[in-house]
Amino acid sequence: MKEKGHTLTARYLGEKYGLSGWWAQAVTIRYEWERGLRNGKTLKDDGKRKRLGKGG
């Protein structure tokens, strides 16, 4: 899941299920982690790892 997909997924969860921003992010991150799309604070993107956090 790309970063854009991450943002859209979290937004969808918030709108569909009424989750706060924090919970929507937490569920999205856990989903990515369980599927092997995320390793710690990185998000895999086309075989590369992109560091997440302030400033992207």
pLDDT per residue as tens digits for the range 2-56: 457 889 999 999 999 999 999 999 999 999 999 988 876 666 655 555 555 555 4
Query: What is the model's pLDDT at position 38?
Result: 81
Q: Which domain holds residue 19?
A: 3-51
Q: Domain count of the chain?
A: 1
Q: How many CB atoms lie within 10 A of CB 28?
A: 23
Q: Would residue 56 count as lying in a domain?
A: no
Establish if 34 belongs to a structural domain: yes
What pTM was computed for the model? 0.64
Does 23 fall in a domain? Answer: yes
| Furthest CA-CA distance within the chain | 33
